[in-house]
Amino acid sequence: MRSTSWLPLLSSSMAVMITASPAPAAATFDCEKLPVDGRTYSFKELAGPHTVVTSEYVAPSYHNTTYTIDLCGGLKQKGGGGGGDNKGERCPDGTRVCAIKHKWDPKTDKATVDHFIPIVVGRGEKQASFEWEAKRLPSEEPKDGKEKGEGDKKNKKEGLKVTLKGGKYQGRQQQTVVEFRCSGLKGDEEEWESKKLVEYERVKRAAVAEDKDEGDDLSTPERQLKKEGAALVWEGYKSDGEVDTLSLTWYTKFVCDKAVGDEPEKGKEPADGGESAHWGFFTWFVVLVFLGIASYLIFGSWLNYNRYGARGWDLLPHGDTLRDVPYLLKDWTRRVLNTVQSSGSRGGYSAV
C-alpha cells in the first residue's frame, strides 16, 4: 500500500496558499455603463456633485451637515459641497461621497467646519476604483404568504440598489447605500446651494428661539432640510457594528425598466405604462383598416337608402359586386385546381 503521509503536508500547504491569497481587488465603477443582472444602466446625465443637507441642534451649537455624492468622478475642491477652500477643510482627493459638518456658535456668531468624513474614496483613473455592488430592486413580497393581487402589482419596486464602499473615519469603515427609484424626475431637482446652508438654518433657529423661553431645550435630532420635490433624499447615517452607513434614496428616470430596454418575463403581463403595454404597428394597422371598411359600408348604406330607397342587400355599396364574390372565388379556385392537375411529367402531352 502506498504511503499517504504527504496528504497532511499538502493540505497544510494549500491552506497557507489560500490564506495568503490577496483579497479581491476593487472594481471599476463606470457610471455610463453599469452592468447589473444582464442590463446596463447609465448615470451619465447625473454626473457631477449632488448634495443633501441635514440639520441638528445640540446646545449650545447649531450644526448643518452636507452629504455630497458624485457618481461619475471625484469631488472637486471648490463648489458642490466638496469642502472648504482650504485643503484641511475638505475630503481628500478621490472622494466620491463626502460628509462635512458645519458648526455655528451663537456666542461668537461664527460658522466653522467641525469635521469631514470621506465615506467613499476612489482610486486610479477618474477615482473610479473602489468596492461596490449593485442589484435590481425586487418586487414587493405579498404579506401573509398570499398571492399577489392587482394592488401588489402597483407596489412593484422599479429601480436599483447600489452599495459603495472604500472610506474610513476614526478607524471605522464607511459605506453608502443608494436606492435608486424609478420616477419621472431627472434626479437633480431641488438641491441646496452649499454657500447658503449654514446661514439658512441659523436664521431659522433664531426665529424659533424668539418664541421660546430662554430655559427651553431646543435640541433636535438630525433631519434633512428638504425642499418640496427633491429628487435626492437622506434616509439616515447610522452605525452598525464596525460600519457606518449613509442611506440615500434617489428618484430618477434613468433606472426605470423602459430606460434600460427591459422586457417582461414570459408568462407575465407587462406592467402598466411599460413599453410592451402599447400597441404595435400591426395592431394599429388592422384596427385602422377595420374602421375604414366599417365607415365605408355604413356611409354607403346610408347613401343608398336615402337616395334610392334601397332595402336588404341593395343597401350595401357595390352590392352586385359583393354578391358575385363567392362565384368569383369558386371560379378562381377551379382554375387553380385545373392548372395544378394538368401539370405533370408528360410535358404537356396527353396519353393516347
Domain boundaries, the chain: 27-140+154-265, 281-333
| pLDDT-wise least confident of 144-153, 203-212, 271-280 | 144-153
By percentage, how much of the chain surpasses pLDDT 90? 31
CATH fold group of domain 27-140+154-265: Cation-dependent Mannose-6-phosphate Receptor; Chain A (2.70.130)
Mean pLDDT, residues 211-230 taken together = 74
pLDDT, one tens digit per residue, over 7-47 is 343 344 333 333 333 333 457 899 999 999 888 999 999 99
- pLDDT at position 147 is 44
Strands 39-41 and 172-182: unpaired
Give residue 261's region: left, alpha or beta (phi > 0; psi -120 to 50).
left
Cell 404597428 locates to 281
143 — pLDDT class (breaks 50, 70, 90): very low
Question: Would the CA dihedral through 82, 88, 94, 100 be positive or negative?
Answer: negative
**pLDDT at residue 275 is higher than 60:** no
Strands 50-58 and 39-41: unpaired
**pLDDT at residue 194 is higher than 60:** no
Cα–Cα distance measured from residue 39 to residue 260, given in angstroms and rounded to the nearest whole number: 7
pLDDT, one tens digit per residue, over 159-185 is 999 999 988 898 899 999 999 999 999
The terminus-to-terminus CA distance of the chain in angstroms comes to 93
